[in-house]
A and B are shown apart, each in its own frame.
Chain A
């Protein structure tokens, strides 16, 4: 049972465009929703995260939009750059306790120059 569903599987965007990746979760006990960025040969690195008490969080060119009632959240990358080309994973967990995030399957983003 996949608890966090992520789409699309791959995404190609032109430089300067907006990249949008969507995720949906099932477990209503989740209360912490991070996005991770992974480059080839590296482990995932935390990019940005949100808790369900806000509907949007922005850090630089990266924005998370969160819809609690729909159990969906998305990552928007504004002014996408070739250096953003990577695999992006959404995840969900309970904020407290042992913090063991459940990951989506990932989105491979390619930004063409």
Chain B
């Protein structure tokens, strides 16, 4: 168990380009969450998977955002036609249902800069 892994750690992209981030959760965790964190703010929930099913989406997840977890293991978050306002840290977390908040583990995030 090496924790929640996110790739890449940093991404700089030009406005209008598409970007994709990957999250590999802790192996026995069947729940996976995506958050966005901007400077001076706490993490804001984007979406949540249980196994491969996307069960909840925040209104922050605009039409330009899409997330997948095709085999119930790793997940990807894609942002299409990036805007400067998308610049943020994108965090992934995973958990087991029986552990509740105590098993909730964040990755180190992907920092996106849109220029």
Task: Using CB atoms and an 8 Å cutoff, list the residues of chain A in contact with chain B.
Answer: 4, 6, 9, 32, 34, 41-46, 49, 89, 91, 93, 95-96, 98-106
Contact = CB atoms under 8 A, between A and B. Distances in A.
A105 B40 CA distance: 6
Nearest first, the 10 A-B pairs at minimum CB distance are A103-B42, A43-B106, A89-B42, A100-B45, A43-B108, A44-B106, A42-B108, A43-B107, A103-B43, A43-B91
B95 A99 contact: yes
Interface string B38-53: 0011111100101000
Contact of B41 (A41, A43, A106): A106
Range, interface on chain B = 20 to 34
A8 to B, nearest CB: 13
Contacts, number: 60
A44 B41 CA distance: 12
A4 B41 CA distance: 12
Interface of B: 4, 31, 33, 40-45, 48, 50, 55-56, 91, 93, 95, 100-102, 104-109
Contact of A95 (B4, B55, B101, B107): B101
A93 B95 CA distance: 15
Contacts of A98: 31, 48, 50, 55-56
Given A100-B33, A106-B40, A43 B109 contact: yes
Given A44-B91, A98-B50, A99-B95, 13 more contacts: A32-B101, A42-B108, A43-B4, A43-B107, A44-B43, A44-B106, A45-B106, A96-B100, A98-B31, A99-B104, A100-B33, A100-B45, A100-B48
Contacts of A49: 101-102
